[in-house]
Amino acid sequence: MYYDSSEKLVSTFVKKGNQYYFIEDNIEKVGSIINLDKCNFRFESGHKMEDDKITEIQRLLSAQKIYYEISKVENNTYYFICRVNLHVNCGTGKFIKIK
**CB-based contacts of 83, cutoff 8 Å, min separation 6:** 66, 67, 68, 69, 89, 90
Q: Would you give the DSSP letter of residue 49? A: P
Q: Specify the pTM.
A: 0.72
CA distance 67 to 78: 14
How many separate helices (H) and strands (E) can be counted in the chain?
Answer: 1, 8
Q: 48, 58, 51: which is closest to 82 by C-alpha?
A: 58
Please give the residue range of the domain that contains residue 25. 2-96
Domain count for the chain: 1
**Amino acid identity of 36?**
L
Q: Which helix (H) or strand (E) holds 89?
A: strand 89-96
Residue ranges in the chain modelled with pLDDT below 50: none
